[in-house]
Structure 1
Amino acid sequence: MATVRNRDHESRGITQGGKISQKTFIDSYDPSVLRRVQYMLYEIKWSNSESPLQSCCHSSRMAHAEIYFLEDVFQKPRSDPSARCSITWYMSWSPCGYCSKKIRDFLKAQPNVNLVIYVARIYWHKREINREGLRSLMNIGVSIQVMDLPAYSYCWRTFVDNEDKYEDYWPRHFSPWIMLYYLELHSILQNIPSCLKISSFKNQDPVFRLRVDEKQKRAFTSANPYLPPVSWPGQPTSLWKP
Protein backbone atom coordinates (compact mmCIF):
# COMPACT_ATOMS: atom_id res chain seq x y z
CA MET A 1 0.00 0.00 0.00
CA ALA A 2 2.82 2.41 0.83
CA THR A 3 4.36 1.89 -2.62
CA VAL A 4 1.06 2.68 -4.33
CA ARG A 5 0.62 5.74 -2.12
CA ASN A 6 4.10 7.08 -2.92
CA ARG A 7 3.57 6.57 -6.65
CA ASP A 8 0.24 8.35 -6.45
CA HIS A 9 1.84 11.37 -4.80
CA GLU A 10 4.87 11.60 -7.08
CA SER A 11 3.48 10.86 -10.52
CA ARG A 12 1.40 13.87 -11.60
CA GLY A 13 3.72 16.52 -13.04
CA ILE A 14 6.67 15.48 -10.84
CA THR A 15 9.82 13.88 -12.26
CA GLN A 16 11.63 10.88 -10.82
CA GLY A 17 14.28 13.28 -9.55
CA GLY A 18 11.71 15.04 -7.37
CA LYS A 19 11.33 18.15 -9.56
CA ILE A 20 8.02 19.67 -10.66
CA SER A 21 7.52 20.23 -14.39
CA GLN A 22 7.50 23.77 -15.74
CA LYS A 23 3.91 23.51 -16.98
CA THR A 24 2.64 22.00 -13.73
CA PHE A 25 4.26 24.74 -11.65
CA ILE A 26 2.85 27.54 -13.81
CA ASP A 27 -0.63 25.99 -13.91
CA SER A 28 -0.78 25.03 -10.23
CA TYR A 29 0.76 28.09 -8.55
CA ASP A 30 -1.04 30.80 -10.51
CA PRO A 31 -3.13 32.52 -7.79
CA SER A 32 -5.62 33.85 -10.33
CA VAL A 33 -6.93 30.36 -11.19
CA LEU A 34 -8.42 27.66 -8.95
CA ARG A 35 -6.75 24.32 -9.64
CA ARG A 36 -8.12 21.35 -7.72
CA VAL A 37 -4.89 19.42 -7.12
CA GLN A 38 -2.80 20.73 -4.23
CA TYR A 39 0.98 20.78 -4.69
CA MET A 40 3.70 21.16 -2.08
CA LEU A 41 7.35 22.00 -2.75
CA TYR A 42 9.26 21.24 0.42
CA GLU A 43 12.70 21.90 1.85
CA ILE A 44 14.05 20.17 4.96
CA LYS A 45 17.23 21.43 6.64
CA TRP A 46 18.81 19.47 9.50
CA SER A 47 21.26 21.11 11.88
CA ASN A 48 23.63 18.14 11.51
CA SER A 49 23.58 18.12 7.69
CA GLU A 50 24.94 20.60 5.16
CA SER A 51 22.65 19.53 2.30
CA PRO A 52 18.89 20.21 2.55
CA LEU A 53 16.33 17.77 1.19
CA GLN A 54 14.31 19.44 -1.57
CA SER A 55 11.45 17.71 -3.35
CA CYS A 56 7.74 17.84 -4.28
CA CYS A 57 4.46 16.05 -3.70
CA HIS A 58 0.78 16.66 -4.31
CA SER A 59 -2.61 15.73 -2.92
CA SER A 60 -4.30 12.50 -3.91
CA ARG A 61 -7.58 10.70 -3.38
CA MET A 62 -6.08 9.26 -0.19
CA ALA A 63 -4.66 12.35 1.51
CA HIS A 64 -3.79 16.02 1.24
CA ALA A 65 -0.15 16.85 0.58
CA GLU A 66 0.47 17.85 4.22
CA ILE A 67 -0.65 14.44 5.50
CA TYR A 68 1.53 12.65 2.97
CA PHE A 69 4.52 14.74 4.07
CA LEU A 70 3.96 14.16 7.80
CA GLU A 71 3.23 10.44 7.53
CA ASP A 72 5.55 9.38 4.69
CA VAL A 73 8.27 11.94 3.93
CA PHE A 74 9.25 13.07 7.43
CA GLN A 75 8.89 9.64 8.99
CA LYS A 76 11.67 8.16 6.87
CA PRO A 77 14.61 6.98 9.04
CA ARG A 78 16.87 9.76 10.29
CA SER A 79 20.39 9.38 11.67
CA ASP A 80 19.80 11.70 14.62
CA PRO A 81 16.14 12.31 15.58
CA SER A 82 17.26 14.87 18.20
CA ALA A 83 18.84 17.21 15.62
CA ARG A 84 17.09 20.52 15.07
CA CYS A 85 15.13 20.77 11.85
CA SER A 86 13.81 23.64 9.73
CA ILE A 87 11.02 22.84 7.25
CA THR A 88 9.70 25.17 4.55
CA TRP A 89 6.60 24.41 2.50
CA TYR A 90 5.64 26.24 -0.70
CA MET A 91 2.01 25.25 -1.20
CA SER A 92 -0.47 25.90 -4.00
CA TRP A 93 -3.29 25.82 -1.38
CA SER A 94 -3.12 26.62 2.32
CA PRO A 95 -3.84 23.85 4.86
CA CYS A 96 -7.47 23.04 5.62
CA GLY A 97 -8.77 22.90 9.19
CA TYR A 98 -8.26 19.12 9.45
CA CYS A 99 -4.66 19.31 8.17
CA SER A 100 -3.93 22.24 10.50
CA LYS A 101 -4.85 20.02 13.45
CA LYS A 102 -2.57 17.25 12.17
CA ILE A 103 0.26 19.77 11.75
CA ARG A 104 -0.25 21.04 15.32
CA ASP A 105 -0.14 17.49 16.68
CA PHE A 106 3.00 16.80 14.66
CA LEU A 107 4.80 19.92 15.91
CA LYS A 108 3.85 19.23 19.53
CA ALA A 109 5.42 15.78 19.16
CA GLN A 110 8.48 17.26 17.40
CA PRO A 111 9.63 20.26 19.49
CA ASN A 112 12.92 20.38 17.56
CA VAL A 113 11.11 21.20 14.30
CA ASN A 114 10.44 24.72 12.97
CA LEU A 115 7.89 25.16 10.15
CA VAL A 116 7.45 28.01 7.65
CA ILE A 117 4.54 27.89 5.18
CA TYR A 118 4.20 29.90 1.96
CA VAL A 119 0.87 29.66 0.13
CA ALA A 120 -0.25 30.69 -3.36
CA ARG A 121 -3.96 30.59 -2.42
CA ILE A 122 -6.10 30.20 0.68
CA TYR A 123 -8.22 27.07 0.77
CA TRP A 124 -11.98 27.75 1.23
CA HIS A 125 -11.05 30.99 2.97
CA LYS A 126 -14.54 31.79 4.31
CA ARG A 127 -14.99 28.49 6.18
CA GLU A 128 -14.43 29.19 9.86
CA ILE A 129 -12.82 25.80 10.51
CA ASN A 130 -10.10 26.64 7.98
CA ARG A 131 -9.64 30.17 9.33
CA GLU A 132 -9.39 28.85 12.90
CA GLY A 133 -6.91 26.23 11.73
CA LEU A 134 -4.53 28.82 10.27
CA ARG A 135 -4.79 30.98 13.39
CA SER A 136 -4.02 27.98 15.56
CA LEU A 137 -0.85 27.31 13.57
CA MET A 138 0.24 30.93 13.95
CA ASN A 139 -0.42 30.72 17.69
CA ILE A 140 2.08 27.88 18.11
CA GLY A 141 4.80 29.68 16.15
CA VAL A 142 4.26 28.57 12.55
CA SER A 143 5.07 31.35 10.06
CA ILE A 144 2.38 31.56 7.33
CA GLN A 145 2.91 33.88 4.37
CA VAL A 146 1.49 34.46 0.92
CA MET A 147 4.01 33.71 -1.81
CA ASP A 148 5.45 36.90 -3.28
CA LEU A 149 7.50 37.27 -6.46
CA PRO A 150 10.86 36.43 -4.78
CA ALA A 151 9.28 33.22 -3.43
CA TYR A 152 8.03 32.28 -6.91
CA SER A 153 11.48 32.98 -8.33
CA TYR A 154 13.15 30.84 -5.64
CA CYS A 155 10.78 27.94 -6.31
CA TRP A 156 11.39 28.26 -10.04
CA ARG A 157 15.17 28.03 -9.59
CA THR A 158 15.05 25.33 -6.91
CA PHE A 159 12.17 22.96 -7.60
CA VAL A 160 11.28 23.23 -11.31
CA ASP A 161 12.71 20.71 -13.77
CA ASN A 162 15.51 22.20 -15.90
CA GLU A 163 14.39 20.80 -19.24
CA ASP A 164 13.42 23.63 -21.64
CA LYS A 165 13.20 26.07 -18.73
CA TYR A 166 13.78 29.81 -18.86
CA GLU A 167 16.47 31.14 -16.53
CA ASP A 168 14.00 32.90 -14.27
CA TYR A 169 10.27 33.17 -13.76
CA TRP A 170 8.46 36.50 -13.81
CA PRO A 171 4.72 35.83 -13.87
CA ARG A 172 2.48 38.41 -15.47
CA HIS A 173 -0.58 39.88 -13.75
CA PHE A 174 0.27 38.25 -10.39
CA SER A 175 0.58 41.33 -8.18
CA PRO A 176 -3.17 42.08 -7.72
CA TRP A 177 -3.99 38.53 -6.66
CA ILE A 178 -0.97 38.27 -4.39
CA MET A 179 -2.15 41.43 -2.62
CA LEU A 180 -5.73 40.12 -2.38
CA TYR A 181 -4.62 36.88 -0.75
CA TYR A 182 -2.16 38.82 1.41
CA LEU A 183 -4.97 40.97 2.80
CA GLU A 184 -7.25 37.97 3.28
CA LEU A 185 -4.56 36.01 5.11
CA HIS A 186 -4.02 38.95 7.46
CA SER A 187 -7.75 39.18 8.06
CA ILE A 188 -7.71 35.51 9.04
CA LEU A 189 -4.66 35.70 11.31
CA GLN A 190 -5.93 38.88 13.00
CA ASN A 191 -9.47 37.45 13.30
CA ILE A 192 -10.98 40.20 11.12
CA PRO A 193 -14.02 39.44 8.92
CA SER A 194 -13.22 38.20 5.41
CA CYS A 195 -12.54 40.87 2.80
CA LEU A 196 -12.16 38.61 -0.25
CA LYS A 197 -14.98 37.20 -2.34
CA ILE A 198 -14.28 34.74 -5.17
CA SER A 199 -16.96 33.87 -7.73
CA SER A 200 -16.26 30.85 -9.90
CA PHE A 201 -18.29 30.00 -12.98
CA LYS A 202 -18.04 26.94 -15.21
CA ASN A 203 -15.67 27.41 -18.16
CA GLN A 204 -14.84 30.97 -17.05
CA ASP A 205 -11.99 32.55 -15.12
CA PRO A 206 -12.85 33.22 -11.46
CA VAL A 207 -13.73 36.77 -10.42
CA PHE A 208 -12.02 38.20 -7.31
CA ARG A 209 -13.69 40.99 -5.34
CA LEU A 210 -12.14 42.96 -2.50
CA ARG A 211 -14.72 44.35 -0.06
CA VAL A 212 -13.32 46.45 2.77
CA ASP A 213 -15.51 48.72 4.89
CA GLU A 214 -14.31 51.47 7.21
CA LYS A 215 -14.28 49.17 10.24
CA GLN A 216 -12.09 46.64 8.44
CA LYS A 217 -9.74 49.38 7.22
CA ARG A 218 -9.21 50.55 10.80
CA ALA A 219 -8.70 46.98 11.97
CA PHE A 220 -6.12 46.30 9.25
CA THR A 221 -4.23 49.48 10.03
CA SER A 222 -4.28 48.81 13.78
CA ALA A 223 -3.33 45.14 13.48
CA ASN A 224 -0.68 45.66 10.79
CA PRO A 225 1.30 48.86 11.47
CA TYR A 226 3.94 47.77 8.93
CA LEU A 227 1.47 46.82 6.21
CA PRO A 228 2.69 48.06 2.80
CA PRO A 229 0.73 51.04 1.46
CA VAL A 230 -2.61 49.95 -0.02
CA SER A 231 -4.90 52.08 -2.18
CA TRP A 232 -8.12 51.30 -0.37
CA PRO A 233 -11.10 51.51 -2.71
CA GLY A 234 -13.93 53.92 -2.00
CA GLN A 235 -16.35 51.27 -3.21
CA PRO A 236 -15.97 47.46 -3.46
CA THR A 237 -13.36 46.72 -6.13
CA SER A 238 -13.53 43.86 -8.62
CA LEU A 239 -10.43 42.33 -10.16
CA TRP A 240 -10.47 39.68 -12.82
CA LYS A 241 -7.91 37.93 -14.97
CA PRO A 242 -7.06 40.05 -18.04
Structure 2
Amino acid sequence: MAAGWDGDHVSRGITQGGKILQDTFIDSYNPSVLRKVQYLLYEIKWSNNRRPWKKCCHSTRTHHAEMHFLDVFEAQGSDPSVHCSITWYMSWSPCGDCCKEIRDFLKNQPNVNLVIYIARIYWHKDEKNRQGLRSLVNLGVTIRIMDLPVYSYCWRTFVDDEDKDEDDYWPRHLAPWIMLYSLELQSILQNIPSCLEISTEFQTPVFSLCVEDEQWKKSLTSANP
Protein backbone atom coordinates (compact mmCIF):
# COMPACT_ATOMS: atom_id res chain seq x y z
CA MET A 1 0.00 0.00 0.00
CA ALA A 2 1.42 3.34 -0.98
CA ALA A 3 2.17 5.88 1.72
CA GLY A 4 0.10 9.05 1.71
CA TRP A 5 -3.52 10.16 1.73
CA ASP A 6 -5.68 8.94 -1.14
CA GLY A 7 -9.31 9.25 -2.15
CA ASP A 8 -10.20 6.01 -0.41
CA HIS A 9 -9.16 7.44 2.95
CA VAL A 10 -11.14 10.62 2.40
CA SER A 11 -14.19 8.64 1.29
CA ARG A 12 -14.04 6.58 4.49
CA GLY A 13 -14.24 9.52 6.85
CA ILE A 14 -10.70 10.92 6.98
CA THR A 15 -10.00 14.41 5.64
CA GLN A 16 -7.10 15.47 3.43
CA GLY A 17 -5.63 17.09 6.53
CA GLY A 18 -5.50 13.71 8.27
CA LYS A 19 -8.39 14.20 10.71
CA ILE A 20 -11.35 11.91 11.27
CA LEU A 21 -14.93 13.09 10.78
CA GLN A 22 -17.18 13.32 13.84
CA ASP A 23 -19.71 10.69 12.75
CA THR A 24 -16.94 8.31 11.69
CA PHE A 25 -15.22 8.59 15.07
CA ILE A 26 -18.43 8.13 17.08
CA ASP A 27 -19.51 5.14 15.00
CA SER A 28 -16.14 3.43 14.57
CA TYR A 29 -14.92 3.75 18.17
CA ASN A 30 -18.15 2.65 19.83
CA PRO A 31 -17.20 -0.64 21.55
CA SER A 32 -20.82 -1.78 21.71
CA VAL A 33 -20.95 -2.29 17.93
CA LEU A 34 -18.67 -4.42 15.75
CA ARG A 35 -17.70 -2.41 12.68
CA LYS A 36 -15.56 -4.07 10.02
CA VAL A 37 -13.29 -1.14 9.13
CA GLN A 38 -10.42 -0.62 11.55
CA TYR A 39 -9.31 2.96 12.32
CA LEU A 40 -6.01 4.04 13.81
CA LEU A 41 -5.42 7.54 15.16
CA TYR A 42 -1.75 8.13 15.82
CA GLU A 43 0.50 10.64 17.49
CA ILE A 44 4.27 10.67 17.02
CA LYS A 45 6.64 12.78 19.12
CA TRP A 46 10.39 13.04 18.60
CA SER A 47 13.00 14.02 21.19
CA ASN A 48 14.68 16.51 18.81
CA ASN A 49 11.71 18.93 18.97
CA ARG A 50 10.54 17.96 15.51
CA ARG A 51 6.90 18.90 15.03
CA PRO A 52 4.66 16.03 16.26
CA TRP A 53 2.54 14.08 13.81
CA LYS A 54 -1.17 13.66 14.54
CA LYS A 55 -2.89 11.72 11.76
CA CYS A 56 -5.41 8.97 11.01
CA CYS A 57 -5.55 5.90 8.81
CA HIS A 58 -7.80 2.87 8.37
CA SER A 59 -7.81 -0.67 7.08
CA THR A 60 -8.46 -1.66 3.49
CA ARG A 61 -9.38 -4.97 1.92
CA THR A 62 -5.70 -5.90 1.70
CA HIS A 63 -4.05 -4.11 4.64
CA HIS A 64 -4.85 -3.62 8.30
CA ALA A 65 -4.38 -0.07 9.56
CA GLU A 66 -1.15 -0.93 11.41
CA MET A 67 0.48 -1.94 8.14
CA HIS A 68 -0.47 1.37 6.57
CA PHE A 69 1.11 3.20 9.51
CA LEU A 70 4.33 1.19 9.30
CA ASP A 71 4.53 1.89 5.55
CA VAL A 72 4.13 5.63 6.16
CA PHE A 73 6.57 5.71 9.09
CA GLU A 74 9.30 3.77 7.33
CA ALA A 75 8.86 5.78 4.12
CA GLN A 76 9.59 9.07 5.90
CA GLY A 77 12.79 7.72 7.44
CA SER A 78 13.83 7.67 11.08
CA ASP A 79 17.04 8.79 12.74
CA PRO A 80 17.98 5.92 15.11
CA SER A 81 19.74 8.40 17.41
CA VAL A 82 16.49 10.29 18.05
CA HIS A 83 14.01 8.86 20.55
CA CYS A 84 10.51 8.50 19.12
CA SER A 85 7.31 8.11 21.16
CA ILE A 86 4.32 6.69 19.26
CA THR A 87 0.76 6.44 20.58
CA TRP A 88 -1.98 4.58 18.71
CA TYR A 89 -5.69 4.92 19.37
CA MET A 90 -7.28 1.95 17.62
CA SER A 91 -10.88 0.92 16.99
CA TRP A 92 -9.71 -2.74 16.96
CA SER A 93 -6.67 -4.27 18.62
CA PRO A 94 -3.92 -5.71 16.40
CA CYS A 95 -4.41 -9.28 15.17
CA GLY A 96 -1.77 -11.95 15.71
CA ASP A 97 -0.16 -11.41 12.29
CA CYS A 98 0.02 -7.64 12.77
CA CYS A 99 1.51 -8.16 16.23
CA LYS A 100 4.37 -10.06 14.61
CA GLU A 101 4.96 -7.23 12.13
CA ILE A 102 4.89 -4.70 14.95
CA ARG A 103 7.41 -6.73 16.93
CA ASP A 104 9.75 -6.89 13.93
CA PHE A 105 9.35 -3.14 13.44
CA LEU A 106 10.19 -2.38 17.08
CA LYS A 107 13.21 -4.69 17.06
CA ASN A 108 14.54 -2.75 14.07
CA GLN A 109 13.68 0.59 15.71
CA PRO A 110 15.08 0.41 19.27
CA ASN A 111 14.63 4.18 19.58
CA VAL A 112 10.84 3.82 19.32
CA ASN A 113 8.44 3.54 22.27
CA LEU A 114 4.89 2.39 21.49
CA VAL A 115 1.68 2.82 23.53
CA ILE A 116 -1.57 1.35 22.20
CA TYR A 117 -5.11 2.27 23.28
CA ILE A 118 -7.89 0.09 21.89
CA ALA A 119 -11.69 0.38 21.79
CA ARG A 120 -12.29 -3.34 21.11
CA ILE A 121 -10.30 -6.58 21.09
CA TYR A 122 -10.13 -8.25 17.69
CA TRP A 123 -11.40 -11.89 17.77
CA HIS A 124 -10.66 -11.92 21.47
CA LYS A 125 -10.86 -15.73 21.88
CA ASP A 126 -8.42 -16.54 19.09
CA GLU A 127 -5.27 -17.79 20.80
CA LYS A 128 -3.00 -16.41 18.08
CA ASN A 129 -4.39 -12.93 18.67
CA ARG A 130 -4.16 -13.30 22.45
CA GLN A 131 -0.56 -14.50 22.26
CA GLY A 132 0.25 -11.65 19.89
CA LEU A 133 -0.91 -9.05 22.40
CA ARG A 134 1.04 -10.71 25.18
CA SER A 135 4.17 -10.77 23.03
CA LEU A 136 3.90 -7.02 22.45
CA VAL A 137 3.58 -6.34 26.18
CA ASN A 138 6.57 -8.61 26.82
CA LEU A 139 8.53 -6.46 24.39
CA GLY A 140 7.69 -3.31 26.35
CA VAL A 141 4.58 -2.10 24.53
CA THR A 142 1.84 -0.63 26.72
CA ILE A 143 -1.69 -1.80 25.75
CA ARG A 144 -4.80 -0.36 27.39
CA ILE A 145 -8.53 -0.12 26.73
CA MET A 146 -9.71 3.38 25.81
CA ASP A 147 -11.44 4.98 28.81
CA LEU A 148 -13.57 8.14 28.92
CA PRO A 149 -10.64 10.61 29.26
CA VAL A 150 -8.97 8.96 26.26
CA TYR A 151 -12.15 9.28 24.20
CA SER A 152 -12.27 12.95 25.14
CA TYR A 153 -8.60 13.45 24.19
CA CYS A 154 -9.12 11.81 20.80
CA TRP A 155 -12.16 14.00 20.21
CA ARG A 156 -10.19 17.17 20.89
CA THR A 157 -7.09 16.03 19.02
CA PHE A 158 -8.15 14.01 15.98
CA VAL A 159 -11.75 14.93 15.08
CA ASP A 160 -12.15 17.45 12.27
CA ASP A 161 -12.87 20.88 13.81
CA GLU A 162 -15.35 21.92 11.13
CA ASP A 163 -17.43 18.83 11.78
CA LYS A 164 -17.64 19.05 15.59
CA ASP A 165 -20.92 19.94 17.30
CA GLU A 166 -19.37 20.15 20.77
CA ASP A 167 -16.00 20.99 22.29
CA ASP A 168 -15.75 17.70 24.17
CA TYR A 169 -16.93 14.10 23.94
CA TRP A 170 -17.73 12.21 27.12
CA PRO A 171 -19.69 9.05 26.16
CA ARG A 172 -20.70 7.78 29.60
CA HIS A 173 -23.00 5.22 27.98
CA LEU A 174 -19.89 3.33 26.81
CA ALA A 175 -18.77 2.60 30.39
CA PRO A 176 -20.14 -0.99 30.57
CA TRP A 177 -18.34 -2.04 27.39
CA ILE A 178 -15.15 -0.31 28.49
CA MET A 179 -15.30 -2.36 31.70
CA LEU A 180 -15.96 -5.65 29.86
CA TYR A 181 -13.11 -5.15 27.40
CA SER A 182 -10.80 -4.06 30.25
CA LEU A 183 -11.50 -7.31 32.07
CA GLU A 184 -10.95 -9.31 28.90
CA LEU A 185 -7.65 -7.57 28.22
CA GLN A 186 -6.52 -8.47 31.74
CA SER A 187 -7.43 -12.11 31.11
CA ILE A 188 -5.34 -12.06 27.93
CA LEU A 189 -2.30 -10.42 29.51
CA GLN A 190 -2.46 -12.74 32.54
CA ASN A 191 -2.85 -15.72 30.19
CA ILE A 192 -6.06 -17.01 31.73
CA PRO A 193 -9.22 -18.11 29.88
CA SER A 194 -11.49 -15.57 28.21
CA CYS A 195 -14.13 -13.93 30.40
CA LEU A 196 -16.04 -12.08 27.67
CA GLU A 197 -18.90 -13.58 25.67
CA ILE A 198 -20.20 -11.77 22.57
CA SER A 199 -23.27 -13.13 20.80
CA THR A 200 -23.93 -11.94 17.24
CA GLU A 201 -27.13 -13.92 16.71
CA PHE A 202 -29.19 -10.74 16.88
CA GLN A 203 -28.97 -7.44 14.99
CA THR A 204 -27.31 -5.82 18.00
CA PRO A 205 -24.39 -7.74 19.59
CA VAL A 206 -24.99 -9.00 23.13
CA PHE A 207 -22.08 -8.77 25.57
CA SER A 208 -21.79 -10.70 28.83
CA LEU A 209 -19.19 -11.52 31.49
CA CYS A 210 -18.56 -15.21 32.08
CA VAL A 211 -16.03 -16.15 34.75
CA GLU A 212 -16.60 -19.65 36.10
CA ASP A 213 -13.44 -20.21 38.09
CA GLU A 214 -13.30 -18.32 41.42
CA GLN A 215 -9.53 -17.86 41.19
CA TRP A 216 -9.84 -16.20 37.76
CA LYS A 217 -12.67 -14.02 39.09
CA LYS A 218 -10.58 -12.90 42.07
CA SER A 219 -7.59 -12.15 39.84
CA LEU A 220 -9.66 -10.09 37.40
CA THR A 221 -11.46 -8.21 40.18
CA SER A 222 -8.20 -7.26 41.89
CA ALA A 223 -6.81 -6.00 38.57
CA ASN A 224 -9.90 -3.86 37.96
CA PRO A 225 -11.22 -2.51 41.29
Question: Where on the TM-score scale, by shorter chain, does this alignment land: which range?
Answer: over 0.9
User: CA separation of 1:21/1:208 partners in 2, compared to 1, >3 Å: closer, same or farther?
Assistant: same
Say whether 1:218 aligns with 2:211. no
Q: Is the 8 A contact 2:14 2:20 kept in 1?
A: yes
Equivalent residue, structure 2, for 1:40: 40
1:124-139 → structure 2 map (5 Å cutoff):
124-139=123-138
1:65-84 → structure 2 map (5 Å cutoff):
65-71=65-71, 73-78=72-77, 80-84=79-83
Once the two structures are TM-superposed, the CA of residue 205 in structure 1 deviates from its matched residue by: 0.9
Once the two structures are TM-superposed, the CA of residue 212 in structure 1 deviates from its matched residue by: 1.3
Provide the TM-score with structure 2 as the length reference: 0.93
Equivalent residue, structure 2, for 1:191: 191
Count matched residues: 223
Equivalent residue, structure 2, for 1:148: 147
1:106-185 → structure 2 map (5 Å cutoff):
106-165=105-164, 166-185=166-185
Q: Is the 8 A contact 2:155 2:169 kept in 1?
A: yes
Equivalent residue, structure 2, for 1:23: 23
Q: Distance in 1 between matches of 2:111 and 2:205?
A: 41
Once the two structures are TM-superposed, the CA of residue 79 in structure 1 deviates from its matched residue by: 6.9
Once the two structures are superposed, residues 84-133 of structure 1 have per-residue CA deviations (whole angstroms, 9 ceiling, x without a partner) of: 10000000000000000000000000000000000000000000000000
User: CA separation of 1:44/1:5 partners in 2, compared to 1, >3 Å: closer, same or farther?
Assistant: closer
Q: Distance in 2 between matches of 1:146 and 1:79?
A: 28
Q: Is the 8 A contact 1:119 1:146 kept in 2?
A: yes
Once the two structures are superposed, residues 10-66 of structure 1 have per-residue CA deviations (whole angstroms, 9 ceiling, x without a partner) of: 541000110000000000000000000000000000111252100000000120000
Structure 2: give runs of 5+ residues left out of the alignment. Answer: none
Structure 1 counterpart SS, 2:60: coil
Q: Distance in 2 between matches of 1:12 and 1:81?
A: 34
Provide the TM-score with structure 1 as the length reference: 0.87
Counting aligned pairs with the same residue, the percent is: 70
Q: Is the 8 A contact 2:149 2:170 kept in 1?
A: no
Once the two structures are TM-superposed, the CA of residue 171 in structure 1 deviates from its matched residue by: 1.2
Q: Distance in 2 between matches of 1:3 and 1:70?
A: 9
Runs of 4+ residues deviating >2 angstroms: 1-11, 76-82, 218-221
Structure with max Cα Rg: 1
Q: What amino acid is aligned across from residue 69 of structure 2 in structure 1?
A: F
Say what the alpha-carbon RMSD is for the aligned residues.
Answer: 1.8
User: CA separation of 1:49/1:4 partners in 2, compared to 1, >3 Å: closer, same or farther?
Assistant: closer
Q: Distance in 1 between matches of 2:117 and 2:180?
A: 15
Structure 1: give runs of 5+ residues left out of the alignment. Answer: 230-242
Q: Distance in 1 between matches of 2:6 and 2:108?
A: 24
